[in-house]
Chain A
Amino acid sequence: MKIGMMSFAHMHAYSYADSLMKLPNVELVGIYDDNMERGKEVAEKYSTKHYPDQGSFLEVDMDAVIICSENNRHKEMTINAAKAKKHILCEKPIATTVEDAWEMIGVCKGHEVILQTAFPVRFSSPIQQLKRLIDAGELGDIVAFRTTNRGQNPGGWFIDEKLSGGGAVLDHTVHMVDIMRWYLGKEITEVYSIVDSYFHQIDIDDAGILTLQFANGVIASHDASWSRFSEYPTWGDVTIEVIGTKQTVKVDALKEHFRLFASGNQSLSNVFYGNDMDFGLIQDFVECVEQKREPSISGYDGLKALEVALAAYQSSNRKSKVYL
């Protein structure tokens, strides 16, 4: 299978490319990146060709593309790739507006290409195991969720609202909203949140807390932030606690680690040894294209997660609940 990559602006592009390299049936045929320096560098790193022009790149014979641009360019690249009949894995958030996400979904459907949203947390082994426990009825009915996704400030275009569409709340809400929707099979109908910049002197939000309600009455709290500093022992966390009628189970997707102590500014580091969820995502996407099946995480899943994150901003601005 021939796959191309569109932009390495998002850091996940590197681990996705690494994952492609591990798959024997996949060839990385080229990288489109209009950042010349970065494009050349990554093309050399992955022994492939750099295309500074999007049109020329999309003329190359390939089955699919992986889009890792700035968030505000997801729409443009998705639509162009769909028109060129390439299947698409698009980095999250799928877009910066719900309207754009609908348009992307529509164009992909019209050109009969797959649009998958990159939510790698779905491929975390403990997250998947908890899904199986819920489906097997081990927790009983779900009463509530408690989730966190807290990490470091990525800086760069992430803190430029024109390019990112939002800060930490957009960046770190969509993953866990997707997991909650996946576990429960219901949609969020009510969002109440407080969003602001607390930790960094930046013009974009770096944290928010969200209180959510699903259509069936299940409630949830979510903590999204860029509150972790560089000396913290790990990048951050991805946790979910599911309160069920039979039992409560908590999972930390990044818990599998050993503690490494060393002399220096950062005396303690947590060294993660759990499964590579990015590889799981890429492997799933490749299989999806090969088997011509529906994506395991659709464009619509990306849209619904985006809708909740954007509602959080709206709620915080209005200081009131937003109903979806």
Chain B
Amino acid sequence: MRNVVIANVNKLDFQTARSEVEVVEGTAQLTNATKTYVIDWGNYNGESLVGHTVFIPSILLSDSLTDGTKVYFDLECYPFFQKTKEVIRRNTKGIFRLRRIVENEDNTLIASDLYVLSTVFGDPESVSVKRSSAEVKPSHVIVMINFGGGTIAHLDYTFSGEDFIELEWSGINTIIEFNSCEMNPFEPKRYTSLPLSYSVEAIFDLSHTVDDRLVERLSNFHNKVNGGVQS
């Protein structure tokens, strides 16, 4: 079975890939059994990929996908997030803040981030969502979370412009500060998508097998983001 990765190709770091990876435009080009194929999510129309091991981003997860598909979460795949997770897990008491700017408004992204954070802090005790006025653009969403056990979080999303992530952790005698703009190794910054990119191996290593439990949990977070608790 071939590995087929549906991804935003602009986010993939091909330089550090260990596998042989080829970007293709559609399923007709999946000819080599040992290669890893990447289809840009803009070109993926939901066509059947039965017979392949498919890795799909959480924001494209749909009911039509069969059990056994692999799903990956954007936030979880970033190398900086993996490193920060290692530190935070030593003592999860504190205040977590995440600031994201993304181009397109997408509640699925927020639900996906909640899923990822729940793997670090456990299931939230409460989630409250505050949205800016629907009449103004860009729209902004604030998510306030109480994970219980002494962990609270604020997530801020603005839907406008280029991807940007700021992560802050105020823990017990531990502070983490990450800013994707400041940590860009290039100047001028336009020459790289680093640090907001990840390898296909990160996708392989960090993807989750789609099953009823995953779908239900993600759906639960989706409901919370869409006002299931309070707005």
Q: What is the CA–CA distance of A321 and B156 in the complex, to the nearest angstrom?
A: 19
Contacts of A199 in B (CB 8 A): 94, 170, 172
Closest residue of A by beta carbon distance from B150: A198
Query: Which of A192, A194, A223, A243 contacts B140 (CB under 8 A)?
Result: A243
Which residues 200-247 of A have a CB within 8 angstroms of B?
207, 209, 211, 213, 217-221, 223, 225, 227-229, 232, 241, 243, 245
Q: A143-B138, A211-B128 are in contact. Are A150 and B170 (CB under 8 A)?
A: yes
B2 contacts the other chain (Cβ, under 8 Å)? no
Assess the B95–A209 pair: CB atoms within 8 A. yes
Assess the A219–B130 pair: CB atoms within 8 A. yes
Q: What is the CA–CA distance of A207 and B156 in the complex, to the nearest angstrom?
A: 18
Assess the A227–B95 pair: CB atoms within 8 A. yes
Q: A150-B170, A248-B160 are in contact. List 8 more A-B contacts (CB 8 A).
A: A144-B140, A198-B93, A199-B94, A217-B132, A221-B144, A225-B95, A229-B175, A321-B230
Query: Which of A144, A150, A196, A321 contacts B142 (CB under 8 A)?
Result: A144
Contacts of A221 in B (CB 8 A): 142, 144, 154, 156
A146 contacts the other chain (Cβ, under 8 Å)? yes
Closest residue of B by beta carbon distance from A220: B142
A interface secondary structure, majority: strand
Closest residue of A by beta carbon distance from B155: A221
Assess the A243–B144 pair: CB atoms within 8 A. no
B interface secondary structure, majority: strand
Assess the A223–B138 pair: CB atoms within 8 A. no
Looking at the assembled complex, report how far the CB atom of B205 sits from the nearest CB atom of chain A, in whole angstroms: 32
Q: What is the CA–CA distance of A42 and B107 in the complex, to the nearest angstrom?
A: 57
Assess the B175–A218 pair: CB atoms within 8 A. no
9 tightest A-B CB contacts, nearest first: A227-B170, A144-B140, A217-B133, A221-B142, A194-B152, A211-B144, A143-B132, A221-B154, A209-B154
Residues of B within 8 A of A (CB): 93-95, 97, 99, 101, 126, 128, 130-133, 136-140, 142, 144, 146, 150, 152-154, 156, 158, 160-161, 170, 172-173, 175, 230
Closest residue of B by beta carbon distance from A230: B173
Q: A207-B95, A211-B128, A223-B154 are in contact. Are A232 and B175 (CB under 8 A)?
A: yes
Q: What is the CA–CA distance of A241 and B101 in the complex, to the nearest angstrom?
A: 13
Q: What is the CA–CA distance of A141 and B132 in the complex, to the nearest angstrom?
A: 12
Assess the A141–B154 pair: CB atoms within 8 A. no
A22 contacts the other chain (Cβ, under 8 Å)? no
For this complex, 23 residue pairs linking A to B, each with C-beta atoms less than 8 Å apart, are: A143-B136, A143-B139, A143-B140, A144-B140, A144-B158, A146-B156, A192-B128, A192-B144, A196-B150, A198-B95, A198-B150, A198-B152, A198-B172, A207-B95, A209-B152, A209-B153, A211-B128, A219-B131, A221-B154, A227-B95, A227-B175, A229-B175, A248-B160
Q: What is the CA–CA distance of A128 and B126 in the complex, to the nearest angstrom?
A: 37
Assess the B130–A213 pair: CB atoms within 8 A. yes
Q: What is the CA–CA distance of A220 and B95 in the complex, to the nearest angstrom?
A: 17
Contacts of A194 in B (CB 8 A): 144, 146, 152
Q: What is the CA–CA distance of A207 and B95 in the complex, to the nearest angstrom?
A: 8
Looking at the assembled complex, report how far the CB atom of B98 sits from the nearest CB atom of chain A, in whole angstroms: 11
Q: What is the CA–CA distance of A152 and B128 in the complex, to the nearest angstrom?
A: 28
Q: What is the CA–CA distance of A198 and B147 in the complex, to the nearest angstrom?
A: 13
Contacts of A38 in B (CB 8 A): none
Assess the A198–B94 pair: CB atoms within 8 A. yes
Q: What is the CA–CA distance of A49 and B136 in the complex, to the nearest angstrom?
A: 58
Contacts of B152 in A (CB 8 A): 194, 196, 198, 207, 209
Closest residue of A by beta carbon distance from B146: A194
Query: Which of B130, B146, B170 contacts A207 (CB under 8 A)?
Result: B170
Q: A245-B136, A248-B158 are in contact. Are A223 and B142 (CB under 8 A)?
A: no
Contacts of A141 in B (CB 8 A): 136
Assess the A243–B95 pair: CB atoms within 8 A. no
Closest residue of A by beta carbon distance from B135: A217
Q: What is the CA–CA distance of A118 and B219 in the complex, to the nearest angstrom?
A: 48
A12 contacts the other chain (Cβ, under 8 Å)? no
Contacts of B173 in A (CB 8 A): 229
Closest residue of A by beta carbon distance from B173: A229
Contacts of B156 in A (CB 8 A): 144, 146, 221
Query: Which of A209, A218, A225, A232 contacts B144 (CB under 8 A)?
Result: A209
Closest residue of B by beta carbon distance from A192: B128
Q: What is the CA–CA distance of A221 and B138 in the complex, to the nearest angstrom?
A: 16
Contacts of A225 in B (CB 8 A): 95, 170
A259 contacts the other chain (Cβ, under 8 Å)? no
Q: What is the CA–CA distance of A198 and B151 in the complex, to the nearest angstrom?
A: 8
Looking at the assembled complex, report how far the CB atom of B206 sits from the nearest CB atom of chain A, in whole angstroms: 28
Looking at the assembled complex, report how far the CB atom of B108 sits from the nearest CB atom of chain A, in whole angstroms: 21
Q: What is the CA–CA distance of A319 and B130 in the complex, to the nearest angstrom?
A: 15
Contacts of A248 in B (CB 8 A): 101, 158, 160-161
Q: What is the CA–CA distance of A70 and B224 in the complex, to the nearest angstrom?
A: 43
Closest residue of B by beta carbon distance from A199: B172
Looking at the assembled complex, report how far the CB atom of A183 sits from the nearest CB atom of chain B, in whole angstroms: 15
Closest residue of A by beta carbon distance from B101: A248
